[in-house]
Structure 1
Amino acid sequence: MTCAELLIRLLRDTYDVDTVFGIPGVHTIELYRGLEGGNGHDHQGSGIRHVTPRHEQGAGFMADGYARTTGKPGVCFIITGPGMTNIATAMGQALADSVPMLVISSVNRRDTLGRGQGRLHELPGQRELMAGVSRFSHTLLDPNGLGEVLARAFAVFDGARPGPVHIEIPIDLFDAPVSEPVSTRRTALAKAAPAPAALEQALDWLVDAKRPLVLLGGGCVDAPDAARRLVESLDAPTVTTINAKGLLGRDHPLDLGANASLPAVRELAHEADVVLAIGTELGETDYDVVFDDGFTLDGRLIRIDLDPEQLARNQHADLALVADAASSLEALAAGCDQRLGGERLSRDGRKRTHDALSALALADDPAFRPYVPLFDTLRESLPGAILVGDSCATTYAANHLVSQDAPRRFFNASTGYGTLGYGLPAAMGASLGQPDLPVVALVGDGGVMFTLTELACAVEERLPVIVLLWHNQGYEEIRRFMDNAGVTRLGVDIQAPDFQTLAAGFGCAATRVGNPAGLARAIAHRPEDGPMLIEIDATAWNAAVA
């Protein structure tokens, strides 16, 4: 057995990998020797489906979307040098949002590393470069160490704060013979549970609080039932961040949504005497997207996170617990049930939540009003759909307006790293991960150009993704920032292509709409076995819904 053959075997049999994203290159041919029969809809042979994006950045975004919807790591096979610099942006987004991603790459022969000989794809310090966008980056120098380094990677995914892991294999090791591993069993990791004494202290503060507030982040997505039980027992208004959307279910009476940057929710935060923050980094793009440092917590702050370093960032914690978010939610919910005898506290939590949302009046806000009928149409036409957003106008509105019925059904690139080009390929990964659910990519005419070529892959893989393209003639958000700063517009009023013609060239169904009725008709006539691009003329839409 060669090193490459062992890699495929371990991924498939030990780590339950069923999909790999990658573009074959001269340096990675040996990786494909074991993948025969895994292409497209033919799952015979290796049992691993190989998806070929049109750019390595697309591969990374697809792996990201797959991971967010399934909870399993997205896996990529990437060539040396340019392949790695191409995927670095996607890894940066995944790192910022704690998304598990395994990037297996080639690197030049061991005897040439660091010698600067101008070898094909040579990238000096490739491992060091990728270490900046990964939980760890490792160069495999002994083929018999492959099992151990893979075990390390999945230990990060299963038991620590997840994120990308990069393993590079010198090209002279792919066909090197390896010994049969001592064990091919996956290590069963139990995530860290909250310390009992600290848990009791947290419960004391929460039960005795007069005006509690709960902040739930993306780390909580695997415990929706416990999250609901806890906040209902505490009768506590709850912020669910962008990556936690759907955690409490659709339109829960205690859910403030991802509106921590807006005045009425900030007032609740300021007034809270005890704040519980679980699985959230309390970062800028969730709590201060207006960039004024106005999110302040004056009450006691309890923080729970799997990463101890995270507990020392952004907001000072009065009580910090290093623990898994899901197990902590379960323990806190059970502790409340025990202390309260199954009863629920009554502290006007529902009223406080209702009053705050009424004060925000998001549906009547001129900044959001045009998008209300858009998301109403999507909800009526595509119940249960996964919404995947690029950094674009519709995504920014969805962050505030959209409520989902379950977690892992809403995510986008406006958080953390904030890249462009994410929406389309990440939606494709989501469709591969959850083929029984409709998937919508929210994209703009600017950002979609970064990865529009992935339409070819979507057609090839017959992925029924709806690409909802909001066409507002350029980079609207940056135009607004330039105008507010008194800077003359430059580089933002860009010329767009004919998206209908481009989509047709890829073999993708496409149409153009300008009002909610047209959008509903387009969705009703979408193909079942391939993508559809629906281009919304923003000017016509805004006039129609005014």
Structure 2
Amino acid sequence: MTCAELLLRLLRDRYGIDTLFGIPGVHTVELYRGLSHSGVRHVTPRHEQGAGFMADGYARATGKPGVCLIITGPGMTNITTAMGQALADSVPMLVISSVNRRDTLGRGQGRLHELESQSNLVGNVARFSHTLLDPDGLPEVLARAFAIFQGARPGPVHIEIPIDLFDAPVTPPTHWPAPQLHPAAPDPAGLDVAAEWLHAAERPLVLLGGGCVAAPEAARELVTRLDAPTATTVNAKGLLGDAHPLDLGATTGLPAVRELAREADVILAVGTELGETDYDVVFDDGFTLNGRLIRIDVDAQQLVRNQSLALGLVSDAARALEGLLSRVPDTLARDGVVRATAARKALALHQEPLLAPFVPLCATLREALPDAVWVGDSTAPAYAANHLLSLPAPRRFFNASTGYGTLGYGLPAALGAQLGKPEQPVIGLVGDGGVMFSLAELATAVEERLPVVILLWHNHGYEEIRRYMDEHGVERLGVDIQAPDFQTLAQGFGCAATRVSSPAELGQALRERPPQAPYLVEIDAAAWCRQLELPPPAAQEAP
């Protein structure tokens, strides 16, 4: 067996990988020998950044690592942005790349795709980067990667294989099943203290992040027993189910929820960074916790970041939630539902002028596609849905507005989600500015016959940056950009497309969407607002 053959066998038979994302190159051809008959699906994006975003969307929708095959040099520089987004949001991603021959590494000889050190290049966007120098060490290196995915804080892992090792002979393992790996459990004494504080609290608050998505039942039951208002981050949306009376959603940047946070005497934060893009989206450092903070995270370092800690437990979120449940056997009464209801009423999200165009948009999409997975770029509809949307389950909503905040994420990540969840509809929320970063992936969607609904909010430029320039007295430059004819472009790719300007037209278009093919639905923002008798988007008006 060769090293390349062993890699494919380990991924498929030991770790259950059924989908690979990659663009073949002369340096990775040996990785493709036998792949077409292996039973593993290979998807060819049109750019390595698209490969990374597809793997990211696949991983978030399924909970399984997304795996990419990437060529030396430019392939690696192209995928690093996608790795940065996955690292910021703790998404399991395995990037396997080629690298030049062992005898040429670091010698600067001007060889094809040569970088002085690929490993150094990706070191800041990976949990670790390893150069395989001994082909018989491949099983151990892969085991390290999957140990990160299963038992630590996930993120991208990079393994590079010199091109002279792909056809090197290796000794296959005698046993193919993967080892059983159980994540960290919380210290019982620490759980006892946490439960004691939560029992004694008069105004508790719970903050749940993406680290909890594997344990929705335990999270929902614990919140109910604690009778505590609960904020769920963007990556935890749907964790408590649809319209749970204690769920405040992803609204911790808004005044009413910030007031609850300031008044809380005990705060339980599980699986959340307490980071800026979830808790301070207005960027004024105004999210303040004055009570005793209990934090639970699989990463010990994260426990002491961003907020002052009173009690920290290093643990997998699911095991900690179950441990707390066993110590809170009865439902406590602290007027939690009353406090949460009052906060939601004070938020008045459906009356917020900036959100008004998106209230009927979200409602129409929910009615037409109630079981959909929502995947967003950094775009106005995604920002609004962060606040407005309530969903019945986790892993059905994610976007690039958190963490790294890259543009171009929405379209390829939606394709990855659709590949991972073929039985569910997928909605990709994109803007006319951001989609141009990755528009070529429409070809991938058509080629793979993925029935993704690509909702394109066309506000003729970079609206958020325009507004920011206007508010800060900076003359607009570089934000009123020329847009192509997206209908013609989509048709050129072989993708069905339409343009709508009202909720009724949107609903009709969704009912008529093609069954086994992508569908681009373009909404002109100004026309949409006119139909709703709303002011046009402020950012499109002259300052």
Question: What's the TM-score bracket when you normalise by the shorter of the two chains?
Answer: over 0.9
Q: Of 88, 103, 110, which aligns to 2:95?
A: 103
Task: Provide the TM-score with structure 2 as the length reference.
Answer: 0.98
Equivalent positions of 1:279-428 (< 5 A) are: 279-337=271-329, 340=330, 344-428=331-415
Cross-structure match for 1:133? 125
Cross-structure match for 1:51? 43
Q: In 2, distance between residues paired with 1:484 and 1:165?
A: 40
Report the Cα offset of residue 544 of structure 1.
1.1
| Amino acid paired to 2:14 | T
Q: Of 482, 506, 513, which aligns to 2:469?
A: 482
Q: Does 1:449 align with 2:441?
A: no
The 3-state SS of whatever aligns with 1:442 is strand
The 3-state SS of whatever aligns with 1:355 is helix
Q: Does 1:509 align with 2:491?
A: no
| Amino acid paired to 2:19 | T
Equivalent positions of 1:148-159 (< 5 A) are: 148-159=140-151
Report the Cα offset of residue 345 of structure 1.
1.1
Aligned length: 533
Report the Cα offset of residue 182 of structure 1.
4.5
Q: In 2, distance between residues paired with 1:189 and 1:542?
A: 53
Q: Does 1:32 align with 2:32?
A: yes
Cross-structure match for 1:42? none
Q: In 2, distance between residues paired with 1:180 and 1:69?
A: 32
Task: Provide the TM-score with structure 1 as the length reference.
Answer: 0.97
Q: In 1, distance between residues paired with 2:253 and 2:323?
A: 29
Per-residue Cα deviation, 1:439-492 (whole angstroms, up to 9, x for no partner) = 000000000000000000000000000000000000000000001110000000
Cross-structure match for 1:41? none
The 3-state SS of whatever aligns with 1:367 is helix
Q: Of 200, 203, 208, which aligns to 1:208?
A: 200
Q: In 2, distance between residues paired with 1:240 and 1:317?
A: 19
Q: In 2, distance between residues paired with 1:320 and 1:543?
A: 51
Per-residue Cα deviation, 1:333-392 (whole angstroms, up to 9, x for no partner) = 22211xx3xxx1111101101100100100000010110000000010001110000000
Report the Cα offset of residue 316 of structure 1.
1.4
Cross-structure match for 2:21? 21
Report the Cα offset of residue 181 of structure 1.
2.1
Cross-structure match for 1:163? 155
How much identity, in percent, do the aligned residues show? 73
Cross-structure match for 2:85? 93
Per-residue Cα deviation, 1:40-60 (whole angstroms, up to 9, x for no partner) = xxxxx2010000000000000
The 3-state SS of whatever aligns with 2:272 is coil
Report the Cα offset of residue 183 of structure 1.
3.6
Q: In 1, distance between residues paired with 2:305 and 2:131?
A: 31
Report the Cα offset of residue 128 of structure 1.
0.9
Contact persistence 1:8–1:34 (CA under 8 A): no
| Amino acid paired to 2:459 | N
Q: Of 495, 519, 537, which aligns to 2:506?
A: 519
Q: Of 54, 57, 65, which aligns to 1:65?
A: 57
Report the Cα offset of residue 304 of structure 1.
0.2
Q: In 1, distance between residues paired with 2:304 and 2:436?
A: 38
Q: In 2, distance between residues paired with 1:483 and 1:182?
A: 65
The 3-state SS of whatever aligns with 1:479 is helix
Report the Cα offset of residue 124 of structure 1.
1.2
The 3-state SS of whatever aligns with 1:27 is coil
Cross-structure match for 2:115? 123
| Amino acid paired to 2:385 | A
The 3-state SS of whatever aligns with 1:286 is helix
Per-residue Cα deviation, 1:410-459 (whole angstroms, up to 9, x for no partner) = 00000010000000000000000011110000000000000000000000
Q: Of 263, 267, 270, which aligns to 2:259?
A: 267
Q: Of 247, 250, 263, which aligns to 1:255?
A: 247
The 3-state SS of whatever aligns with 2:140 is helix
The 3-state SS of whatever aligns with 2:27 is helix
Cross-structure match for 2:229? 237
Cross-structure match for 2:190? 198
Q: In 1, distance between residues paired with 2:179 and 2:293?
A: 35
Per-residue Cα deviation, 1:138-186 (whole angstroms, up to 9, x for no partner) = 0000001001100000000011000000000000000111112244331
Report the Cα offset of residue 136 of structure 1.
0.3
The 3-state SS of whatever aligns with 1:132 is helix
Q: In 1, distance between residues paired with 2:369 and 2:239?
A: 19
Cross-structure match for 2:454? 467
Q: In 2, distance between residues paired with 1:79 and 1:312?
A: 38
Q: In 2, distance between residues paired with 1:334 and 1:204?
A: 12
User: For structure 2, which runs of at least 5 residues remain unmatched after alignment?
Assistant: 535-543
Q: In 2, distance between residues paired with 1:248 and 1:162?
A: 23
Q: In 1, distance between residues paired with 2:34 and 2:408?
A: 31
| Amino acid paired to 1:538 | A
Contact persistence 1:273–1:300 (CA under 8 A): yes
Report the Cα offset of residue 34 of structure 1.
2.4
Q: In 1, distance between residues paired with 2:263 and 2:42?
A: 52
Contact persistence 1:4–1:174 (CA under 8 A): yes
CA RMSD of aligned residues (A): 0.6
Cross-structure match for 1:221? 213
| Amino acid paired to 1:203 | A
Cross-structure match for 1:492? 479
Q: In 2, distance between residues paired with 1:384 and 1:259?
A: 23
Q: Does 1:277 align with 2:273?
A: no
